[in-house]
């Protein structure tokens, strides 16, 4: 991932920023138009500071990002003004305007929301928005843990696993977390019929990592059992 830039020390005063200049950003192949207060977006993103300070010719007519997905940018714009990402997936899908998934109360809806947040993690890194990047990362991680005591809560939906192993760097801590959760928190009853159908699409490297993780866990359990019985176990 890109190096994280230094974060600005003082946030803009909204009453002043909203009286200032409006900049235009066009998102996705359909070039959906967004009008955003310049002082706010430039404060939080080094990328957009560079875009709108006159160095780019297109900054006078707006910046176009055809390879950015509209739902991801919707989450980003919500964060720009609210400085939060909801912790529940239904709210995330609603503010992302992912209407086809909002009404679904199943693993497809949850899996899409997980991937959406992971895409926000990448967006924050790519567009040099460290606070948004960190919050999106923490939103994904925290959903899989019980806050009190940080006890393991659940394994990760296969939709997110498949996307993450195809798109995140191989050294990403999120990939490590997915393997750890699958090796420690998963049980067969976790998988409904839709998840069972996705098993054949799971990445080879994920399955091998889970296998090695479970072997390590079993070895450690055997050592603990031997120690409890006063016996010596071969490593």
pLDDT tens for residues 175-222?
999 999 998 888 888 888 989 999 999 999 999 999 998 888 777 766
140-179 per-position pLDDT tens digit: 998 887 554 445 556 789 999 999 999 999 999 999 999 9
Q: Is the pLDDT of residue 227 over 90?
A: no
Nearest to 74 by CA among 103, 36, 108: 36
Q: Is the pLDDT of residue 229 over 70?
A: no
Q: What is the CA radius of gyration of the chain?
A: 21
Confidence at residue 78, expressed as pLDDT on a 0 to 100 scale: 96
Q: Beta strands 63-65 and 22-27: pairing type? A: parallel
Confidence at residue 217, expressed as pLDDT on a 0 to 100 scale: 76
- Residue 56 pLDDT grade (very low, low, confident, very high; cuts 50, 70, 90): low
15-52 per-position pLDDT tens digit: 666 777 899 999 999 999 999 999 999 999 999 998 88
Q: Which two tokens stand for residue 155?
A: 């394994």
- Sign of dihedral through CA atoms 25, 65, 162, 175? negative
140 contact partners, CB below 8 Å, separation of at least 6: 114, 117, 118, 121, 174
pTM: 0.82
CB atoms near residue 131 (< 10 Å): 16
Q: Write the burial class of residue 227 (CB in 10 Å: 0-12 exposed, 13-18 middle, 19+ buried).
A: exposed
Which strand (E) or helix (H) includes residue 215?
Answer: helix 204-228
Domain boundaries, the chain: 154-235
Confidence at residue 88, expressed as pLDDT on a 0 to 100 scale: 87
Q: Is the pLDDT of residue 83 over 90?
A: yes
Give the long-range contacts of residues 61-64, CB within 8 A, separation 24 or more. 61/24, 62/23, 62/24, 62/25, 62/26, 62/33, 63/23, 63/24, 63/25, 63/26, 64/25, 64/26, 64/31
Q: DSSP secondary-structure letter at 3?
A: P
Backbone angles phi, psi at 151, to 5 degrees: -75, 150
Q: Tokens 């875009």 label which residue?
A: 51
């Amino acid at each position: 991932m890109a190096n994280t830039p230094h974060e600005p020390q003082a946030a803009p005063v909204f009453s002043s920023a909203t009286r200032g200049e409006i900049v235009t950003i066009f998102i996705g192949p359909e070039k959906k138009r967004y009008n955003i207060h310049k002082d706010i977006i430039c404060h939080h993103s080094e990328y957009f500071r560079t875009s709108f300070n006159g160095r780019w010719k297109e900054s006078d007519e707006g910046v176009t990002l055809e390879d950015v997905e509209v739902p991801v940018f919707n989450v980003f714009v919500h964060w720009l003004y609210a400085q939060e990402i909801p912790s529940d997936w239904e709210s995330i899908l609603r503010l992302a305007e992912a209407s086809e998934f909002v009404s679904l109360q199943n693993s497809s809806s949850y899996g899409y929301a997980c991937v959406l947040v992971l895409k926000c993690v990448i967006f924050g890194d790519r567009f040099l928005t460290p606070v948004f990047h960190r919050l999106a990362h923490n939103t994904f991680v925290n959903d899989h843990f019980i806050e009190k005591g940080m006890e393991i809560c659940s394994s990760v939906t296969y939709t997110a696993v498949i996307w993450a192993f195809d798109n995140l760097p191989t050294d990403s801590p999120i990939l490590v977390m997915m393997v750890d959760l699958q090796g420690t928190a998963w049980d067969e009853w976790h998988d409904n019929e839709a998840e069972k159908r996705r098993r054949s699409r799971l990445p080879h490297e994920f399955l091998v990592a889970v296998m090695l993780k479970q072997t390590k866990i079993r070895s450690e359990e055997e050592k603990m059992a031997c120690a409890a019985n006063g016996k010596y176990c071969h490593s």
